[in-house]
Amino acid sequence: MEKKVDVLYAEDDDKMANVVKKLLEDNEFHVRIVCDGRRAWNVFQCSTPDLLLLDLEMPRKDGLEIVKLVRGVNERVPIVFYSSYMNVEKELEAIKLGADDCIRKGCPMELLLEKLRSIYRRVIRDEGNPQIYFLSETTKFNAVVGLLVINGKNLLLKSMDARLLHLLCVKMHEIASNDYLIRGLWGNYSYAEKGNALRKGIIRLRDILEADTALMVGNSFGEGYFLTSRVI
């Protein structure tokens, strides 16, 4: 990154905040810490950061409230949740409200760092739309309109295929659980009810992406699926 990325980090755990701040500032980020949601919103209005990193459960305003407020005035700034309290329902709600990623505390710190780098690079490569996912050197996906570009060829995906790819993009390089994918696609259904439909969707997506040999949709038996590439 050519300049230090300005991160506004809302976290009420001082110890965690300082650990993350040190990690990021050792790696070309500048971090401003606030300890509650209301303060995060006030600071955001005064000085828009390059990236917003949020805990979910905070005093005075929680992370989901902040996403609603921010997306009401700014569609571009990347918003990432970093929380111990993420379950499937809250994660999907955060994504629907406009969050770019949800990372659970306890993951390797290197993963947090690389995800923040990747999200910021993605945004600055397409100033007008934060939901453009650069999946490899030759493939990008516009999640807003469902447009996939592979090797210079445009493919407008069917609604269900586009939603499935979007859910996998949000969890790029991580396992997207069966529960997360099923609820994101169909709502409150079980794997027993929708597992077969999910498998068929994954097969269709693999067929669509096979033109780019750098991409792979893999599966973790009994857990879920993951989208990965040689480019992070």
14 DSSP assignment: H
Render 126-185 in DSSP notation, one character per residue.
Answer: STT-TTEEE-SSSEEEETTTTEEEETTEEEE--HHHHHHHHHHHHTTTS-EEHHHHHHHH
Q: Give a yes or no: residue 140 inside a domain.
A: no
Do 106 and 199 share a structural domain?
no
Element (H, E) at 54: strand 51-54
Do 73 and 17 share a structural domain?
yes
Residue type, 128: G
Q: Which two tokens stand for residue 160?
A: 């269900």
Q: Which two tokens stand for residue 87?
A: 């379950």
Do 107 and 20 share a structural domain?
yes
Split into its structural domains, the chain has a count of 2
Residue 3: what pLDDT? 65
Q: What global pTM score does this model have?
A: 0.67
Do 107 and 59 share a structural domain?
yes
- Indicate the residue among 125, 150, 185 that finishes a domain: 125
Residue 227 CA, distance from chain mean position: 13
**How many other β-carbons are positioned within 10 Å of the β-carbon of residue 154?**
9
Residue 101: what pLDDT? 87
Q: Give a yes or no: residue 143 inside a domain.
A: no
Residue range(s) defining the domain that contains residue 9 = 5-125
Residue 172: what pLDDT? 84
Residue 7: what pLDDT? 95
The domain that holds 209 is classified in CATH as 1.10.10.10
Each residue's pLDDT, cut to its tens digit, for the chain (232 residues) gives: 456 889 999 999 999 999 999 999 999 899 999 999 999 999 999 998 999 999 998 888 899 999 999 999 888 888 999 998 888 888 889 988 889 888 889 888 988 898 888 887 766 655 545 577 888 889 989 887 889 999 889 999 999 999 999 999 988 888 999 999 999 999 889 999 999 999 999 999 999 999 999 999 999 988 999 999 864 4
Residue 232: what pLDDT? 44
Do 71 and 13 share a structural domain?
yes
Do 170 and 103 share a structural domain?
no
Distance CA 147, CA 42 (A): 36
Residues near 40 by beta carbon (within 8 Å), at least 6 away in sequence: 8, 10, 34, 52, 54, 58, 61, 66
Are the beta carbons of 103 and 80 closer than 8 angstroms?
yes
Q: Give a yes or no: residue 133 inside a domain.
A: no
Render 97-114 in DSSP notation, one character per residue.
Answer: HT-SEEEETTS-HHHHHH
Nearest to 99 by CA among 166, 185, 14, 25: 166
Give the chain's largest Cα–Cα span: 49
